[in-house]
């Protein structure tokens, strides 16, 4: 009798895991950013180009020559500023960064938004918790971001003291994860 009960329990547990995994995959497939579905089967670039909220970021990635890198296997975690975040920069900043002679500076700013590895909100939250309220995150550019939790939100502080909020976490990609943020992060 015990083995029948155990078998039923294990079967129920296995079904719950399958349903849970299916639900997670369905949720990831249903994430909308900038009016477009972000499909976990596509890479970071193939999803980002469809977001009407990230046209400035996509133009900057192209100008910096980072398209092939972000289409690569990664995995990458990208903190993706919206057009509104770029618009909030001082007048002329984006135009100046997009000039060919400023490609190095643009590349540094963009790679400051990229972290090697796939760090979803749960992993970031654990880092913050393990760090007793904050975690230092090394970016691909070599700079550091400081992550903190504010309620259920992740906040990122850049090296100049600017603070961005993750507004849409866990946009899963085939080569990493994107977290949409409301400010452009700036290195020293």
pLDDT in tens, 7-62: 333 333 333 333 333 334 434 446 889 888 898 999 999 999 999 999 999 999 99
List the domain range (segments joined by +) for residue 127.
31-181
Per-residue pLDDT of 110-152, as tens digits, reads: 999 999 999 999 999 999 999 999 999 999 999 999 999 998 8
What gap in Å lies between CA 60 and CA 95, rounded to an integer?
10
What gap in Å lies between CA 51 and CA 83, rounded to an integer?
10
What gap in Å lies between CA 21 and CA 66, rounded to an integer?
33
Q: Is residue 40 part of a domain?
A: yes
Positive or negative torsion for Cα 95, 100, 101, 103: positive
Q: What is the CATH number of the domain that holds 90?
A: 2.30.180.10
Q: Which residues in 125-134 are b (16+ Cβ under 10 Å) and which e?
A: bebbeeeeee
Per-residue pLDDT of 88-104, as tens digits, reads: 999 999 999 999 999 99
Q: Is residue 5 part of a domain?
A: no
Q: Is residue 46 part of a domain?
A: yes
Res 30: pLDDT: 64
pTM of the model: 0.83
Number of domains into which the chain is organized: 1
């Amino acid at each position: 009798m015990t083995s029948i009960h155990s078998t039923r329990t294990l079967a129920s547990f296995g079904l719950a895991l399958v349903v849970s995994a299916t639900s997670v995959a369905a949720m990831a497939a249903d994430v909308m950013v900038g009016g477009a579905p972000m499909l976990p089967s596509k890479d970071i670039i193939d999803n980002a180009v469809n977001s009407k909220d990230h046209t400035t970021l996509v133009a900057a990635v192209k100008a910096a020559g980072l398209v092939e890198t972000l289409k690569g296997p990664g995995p990458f975690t990208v903190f993706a500023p919206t057009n509104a975040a770029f618009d909030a920069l001082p007048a002329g900043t984006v135009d100046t960064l997009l000039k060919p002679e400023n490609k190095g500076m643009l590349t540094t700013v963009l790679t400051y938004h990229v972290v090697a590895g796939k760090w979803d909100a749960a992993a970031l939250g654990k880092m913050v918790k393990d760090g007793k309220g904050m975690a230092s995150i090394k970016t691909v550019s070599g700079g550091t971001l400081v992550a903190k939790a504010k309620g259920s939100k992740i906040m990122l502080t850049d090296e100049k003291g600017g603070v961005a909020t993750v507004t849409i976490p866990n946009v899963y990609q085939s080569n990493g994860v994107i977290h949409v943020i409301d400010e452009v992060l700036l290195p020293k």
